[in-house]
Structure 1
Amino acid sequence: MEQTKARIWTANDNDSKSARLSQIHDYEDLEYLGDITIGTPPQSFRVVLDTGSANLWVPDIKCVQGRKEICRQSRCDYGMVCEVLCPDKSCCEKKETEDDGGESPCRDKNLFNSVKSKTYVKVDPKVMFNITYGTGFASGFLGNDTLRFGGSDEDETLIVPGIVFGQAVKIADFFADNPVGGILGLGFAKLAVEEVKPPLQQAIDLGLVDPIFTVFLEHNGFSAQGEFGGTFTYGGLDYVNCGEVIAYEKLTVAAYWQFYMKAFSAGYLTIKKGWEVISDTGTSLLGVPAAIAGMAADALGCNFNRLYEIYEIDCVANVTVDLTIGDHVYTLEGENLVVQLGDDFCVVAMFPMGSGGFGPQWILGDPFIRQYCNIYDIGNKQIGFAKPI
């Protein structure tokens, strides 16, 4: 099934412009990354395509703390390993200008080098960016160049000139030993730092694509290490992987992809309080208000792991939860609700989150988007849902 879908990269769209497609790579059903290129000739990066933020950044060559190229490999980190294995022993001498430890989370990642791009344009060097996420941060300076939504070997990709993006010189340790090589935000401009225009909005303003995109995510399981994991269809609906649209819901706030959810059910538990929720491709699980998460875990027969703040569950548990959005009930089934994190170790796909009374109270992350294709209608400020085919 996956191979069949991976070969069908055709845009069957009835809108005025052709839809553009980007193949997604699945890592353990916890991270879904897309390939992009920046610059001319293209420099490649594998990034989170994130509806929960609005800026693009990738690691810059300066992120390796000024160390010469031969010193950036792992065997040339400081200490005994460097003394024994590094071919250039000068790498083992820590410079005063380098941070303690000498090892950068950018090590072994693709790094953007503006000198190698003939379409690169400098941005005011006084303007710096600093973005904080739930699991880390990135900071650096801004540049301007051509962006391709997709890898250089993919057809039917969207190519957009004049994108302002972040060149990260410092990133959180979270990104070390992680396949994430940057983040491309697909939220609204209100979320963007330094008033930078989001990349997809730039494409829309240039008339390159219609103001809508569709996300289909594939379920591959714990063993997935970069295989085909879905499709982002820019500029239209995905008629290859997604069925008829069940319904559209108006956004309550056009910053995140935020809308209203009426009710939640899990096992014997039903709550009809109503909440502001967001659809977020960059979140691996479902973010649930802490009090509700605890009750839902009990109703589903879970055990709370206090160390990691996750809910353990039997890997073969046949559980479901229902989300009432608008006039429709959306059911998340066990295949997407039970997530394997190790051999015979599974958790229910939710984590407790707090809210200070502002912003979204729930995050509908990848488990929800695997269960239902999400259609992000920028032009009409609404979101739609469809069952995958």
Structure 2
Amino acid sequence: MTLFASMFKLFAGLAVANGLVREGTVPVNPVATIPLDKQYVPVIRNNKIVSYKTAYFGKIHVGMPRQQTFTVVFDTGSAHLFVPSATCNTETCTRHRRFFRNESGTAVDIDHDGNPVKKNSTRRDQVNIAFGTGEVTGEFVRETVCLSPHEPSTEVAPLGSAGKDCTELRVILASEMTKEPFMTFEFDGVLGLGLASLAVDPEFSFFGQMAKMNGLKEQTFGYFLSRSDSVPSEISFGGHDARRLASPLQWVPVHKPELGYWQLRLLGVIVAGERLPLCEEGDCVAIADTGTSLLGAPRAVTQRMHWLLARKVPENPAEIDCRTFPGPELIFQLEDGVNVTIGAEDYSRATGMRVLNNKTNSSQLICRASLLPVDDGEVLGPKAFILGEPALRKYYTAYDWKRQRIGFGLSVQPKPEEVPAEPRHSIYGAPPSGPPTPTEVVV
């Protein structure tokens, strides 16, 4: 037995002893781990910043032999890759990196069914893709997409020779992009990681193509959100990063995978000790969505949840970061006995709200939850909750493509000494340090 094999066996044994992996399994090193940039965008009401929206995005590389690099949101709530096309000349496109078709030796113009566009054809199939905010219109190409940069070559290498982090994919080249969110955010495009059934065709599914064509030992990807802006968040492909786990992964089966969403059956929701009647029959769902910066809840219950999670701050300080002020727990009860428990440090708006009472000439500072009302949808139905950034920051999540399940484990947040000397990521629009000034409401 080699020294490496002995050390690996020892590590696997220690991991089992510490409960980070189940006995009989061996951790698999991810094929690629991508650091994520972070952007803060202020939400302004009455000329005051009341909160921030956030987005996380990382680099991918499109085309061969000379790659074109783009930043994308890795979104479990959608299922296609789009990047801006060089044919789009609006400001919404030109402020981003654009894909130049004539610079790629591997791009093939295709119709929606995957067949090459007929020679001398003047008509191209188009598609319109809508997101929670905004939409894009574009045409199709078949192209090589990689998670890591590769040295340019004078020859077009056959698919797969560049490494296991590349795959052939149907890509949407956006010829039109709405101003929101693409004028506001820095990322160029979106890489959807929803299940294959969410895509127009399975060959649009990036991870589905990776799993099918690259022989991945572990058909999973893992998602980690850092609390510190000094240390990057990360997404890993072809395995999860065991270093980021403080507790074992607990697996929950995907509910109705034919819909294409990473959604889980929700047996109950407990808010500040009160069980919501909405989910008493066990027919609610929770969707793990890496593209959403808030927790989402059906509009029918958001007001009650806000009321239960709000708390008065004693002594009325001039300012406070509400994420540091204690509050009740929010518990999502999933199948197989798995609970996702979120505390005030994760669900709270940083900015408090000062309520001014004109009748009594008094004021009260209140800390509130940050909740996104989810309207009824034909696909998701009226009982859909969204596990966005607050849940994904507390829990490391692993998405098992083959077994159609999600693993939740408490995340290990980096220690100060782990801050890299040279940052591997960028932060855009970071809010000022120190407690935010509360917003004011007169009653």
TM-score normalised by L of structure 1: 0.75
**Out of 335, 359, 371, which is 2:394 matched to?**
371
Counterpart of 1:131 in structure 2 is 129
Is the counterpart of residue 113 in structure 1 residue 122 in structure 2?
Answer: no
**Out of 47, 50, 63, which is 2:75 matched to?**
50
Q: CA-to-partner distance for each residue in 1:59-94, whole Å, 9 max, x for gaps?
A: 1111115xxxxxxxxxxxxxxxxxxxxxxxxxxxxx
The whole-number CA distance in structure 1 between the counterparts of 2:81 and 2:255 is 24
1:138-157 equivalences in 2 (<5 Å): 138-150=136-148
Shift of 1:14: 3.3
Q: Which runs of 5+ in 1 are unaligned?
A: 1-11, 66-103, 304-312
Q: CA-to-partner distance for each residue in 1:342-374, whole Å, 9 max, x for gaps?
A: 999986231111224642611111111111111
Counterpart of 1:283 in structure 2 is 292
Is the counterpart of residue 321 in structure 1 residue 330 in structure 2?
Answer: yes
User: Is contact 2:248–2:409 with CA below 8 Å preserved after alignment?
Assistant: yes
Q: Which runs of 4+ in 1 moved over 6 A?
A: 341-346
Is the counterpart of residue 202 in structure 1 residue 209 in structure 2?
Answer: yes
The whole-number CA distance in structure 1 between the counterparts of 2:84 and 2:353 is 33
Moved more, 372-381 or 245-254: 245-254
Counterpart of 2:252 in structure 1 is 249
Kindly name which structure, 1 or 2, has the bigger radius of gyration based on alpha carbons: 2
Q: CA-to-partner distance for each residue in 1:130-189, whole Å, 9 max, x for gaps?
A: 110110111110112211124669xx9853232111100111111113112100000112
Q: CA-to-partner distance for each residue in 1:186-227, whole Å, 9 max, x for gaps?
A: 01121113554301111111134231111111123xxx5xx6
Moved more, 30-39 or 354-363: 354-363
Secondary structure of 2:246's counterpart equals strand
Counterpart of 1:183 in structure 2 is 190
Counterpart of 1:370, as a letter, is R
**Out of 224, 234, 237, which is 1:234 matched to?**
237
The whole-number CA distance in structure 2 between the counterparts of 1:375 and 1:115 is 38
Counterpart of 1:64 in structure 2 is 89
Counterpart of 2:267, as a letter, is K
Higher strand proportion, which one? 1
Counterpart of 2:177, as a letter, is I
Identical aligned residues as a percent: 25
> Residues 356 and 206 of structure 1: is their aligned pair in 2 closer, same or farther, counting only changes over 3 Å?
closer
Counterpart of 1:270 in structure 2 is 275
Shift of 1:228: 4.2
Is the counterpart of residue 32 in structure 1 residue 56 in structure 2?
Answer: yes
Shift of 1:118: 1.8
The whole-number CA distance in structure 1 between the counterparts of 2:35 and 2:196 is 25
The whole-number CA distance in structure 2 between the counterparts of 1:16 and 1:219 is 25
Shift of 1:314: 4.4
The whole-number CA distance in structure 1 between the counterparts of 2:141 and 2:183 is 23
User: Is contact 2:310–2:368 with CA below 8 Å preserved after alignment?
Assistant: no
The whole-number CA distance in structure 2 between the counterparts of 1:39 and 1:343 is 49
Counterpart of 2:291, as a letter, is G
The whole-number CA distance in structure 2 between the counterparts of 1:346 and 1:177 is 28
Counterpart of 1:258 in structure 2 is 263
Secondary structure of 2:303's counterpart equals helix
User: Is contact 1:269–1:296 with CA below 8 Å preserved after alignment?
Assistant: no
The whole-number CA distance in structure 2 between the counterparts of 1:358 and 1:384 is 24
User: Is contact 1:246–1:385 with CA below 8 Å preserved after alignment?
Assistant: yes
User: Is contact 1:219–1:229 with CA below 8 Å preserved after alignment?
Assistant: no
> Residues 234 and 24 of structure 1: is their aligned pair in 2 closer, same or farther, counting only changes over 3 Å?
same
TM-score normalised by L of structure 2: 0.67
Counterpart of 1:143, as a letter, is V
Counterpart of 2:166 in structure 1 is 160
Aligned Cα RMSD in Å?
2.9
**Out of 348, 351, 355, which is 1:338 matched to?**
348
Shift of 1:257: 0.4
